Amino acid sequence: MSIDATTSVPERAPLPLGLVVAGSLVGLWVLIAVFAPWIAPYDPNAVDIVHALQGPSAEHWFGTDQVGRDVFSRVLHAARIDLLMCLAGVLPPLVIGTTIGLVSGYYGGFIDTVLMRLYDLTAAFPFFVLVLAIVGVLGPGLVNFFIALAFVAWITYARLLRAEVMAVRGSEYVQAAKCLGFSDRVTLFRHVLPNAFGPVVAYAVSDAVLVMLAGASFGFLGMGAQPPLAEWGVMISDGTRFLRQAWWICTFPGLAAISLGLGLIFLGDGLGHLSRQRAAA
C-alpha cells in the first residue's frame, strides 16, 4: 500500500484570540510583578510628608498618597502580593480538592459517601462567612487568610473532579488498564487524572479572580495584608478616606485589579473552551 504524497496532516486550529489576549495580559502582570523592584521609580514604602496627596504628574505618574508614597510604585509592587494571593489561595485548595475528588469519584461506595458528607458539611456555611470566621479566630494576616481558604475553597474542586472522574472511570482505556493488572495508583495518575483534570485547571484560573477579590476585600477590612505592605485592597481602603480630594489613591489600584481580574476570567474561559473541544474530539 502506498501513501499519497499529497495527503496532508490536518493542522491544529489556532488558539482563540480572546485566549491569546487574556494570556498576554496576565503574562504582562506577571512580568510587572517579577521586575517591579527595577521598574518602580521609588521605594513603595518611602514616606515623604512634604509631597503628600499630590496629583498625577511627570514626577509621580499616579500621584502620591496621604503620607507621600508614590502610588505608581506601590501599584507595581502590589501586583506581587496579589498574584501571590492568587497562587497561594488556589494551589492548596486545588491539591486538597483534587485528592478528595479523585478518590471519591474513582472508588465510590462508602468512601464516596463519607467524603461527600464532609463536602456537604463544609458547603453548609456561606463561603465568606466561614473564611471570615476562621481568619477572625486565627488573627489578621495573609498567612491566616491562605489557611482559611485551604479549609474552605477545596469543596468546588472536589465536586468538579469527582464528576469528571466518574465519567472517565468507565471508559475503555481505564477498563483495559485494570485488565492488564495496573495498580490503582498507576491507573489513577496515568489514565484517569490526565483525562479528567482539564476542566479543573480551567476553573482554577477563573477561581484565582475570586481569591484575588477575597484578598482585596479582606485587606479592605483590615484582615488581610497589613500596612505598610503594598496591596491593592489595602490601597483602595486607604484611598476611600481621601476620595474627594485625592481620587487617584484608590482609582489606579482599582483599575489594576480590574485588568488582572478580567485577564484571569477570559483566560479561564478560554482554557475551559479548549478543554470542551478536546473532550468532544
pLDDT one-digit tens code per residue, 143-177: 888 888 888 888 888 888 888 888 887 777 777 77
**Contact between 106 and 174 (Cβ < 8 Å):** no
Residue 147: what residue type?
Answer: I
pLDDT at 3 over 50: no
Query: 56: pLDDT confidence band, cut at 50, 70 and 90?
Result: very high
> Which residues, in sequence order, are CB contacts of 184 under 8 Å at separation 6+?
106
Query: 31: pLDDT confidence band, cut at 50, 70 and 90?
Result: very high
Q: What is the pLDDT of residue 175?
A: 74
* CA distance linking residue 223 with residue 216, whole number of Å: 10
- Which is more confidently placed, 197 or 46? 46
Q: What is the pLDDT of residue 7?
A: 44
- Which is more confidently placed, 64 or 189? 64
Average pLDDT of the chain to the nearest whole number: 81
Report the percent of the chain where pLDDT is more than 90: 11
Q: What is the pLDDT of residue 2?
A: 46
Q: What is the pLDDT of residue 277?
A: 61
Summarised one tens digit per residue, pLDDT across range 13-30 is 566 667 788 888 889 999
Q: What is the pLDDT of residue 267?
A: 83
Rounded mean pLDDT of 218-231?
75
Query: 278: pLDDT confidence band, cut at 50, 70 and 90?
Result: low
How far CA 48 is from CA of 72, 76, 136, in Å, comes to: 15, 19, 34
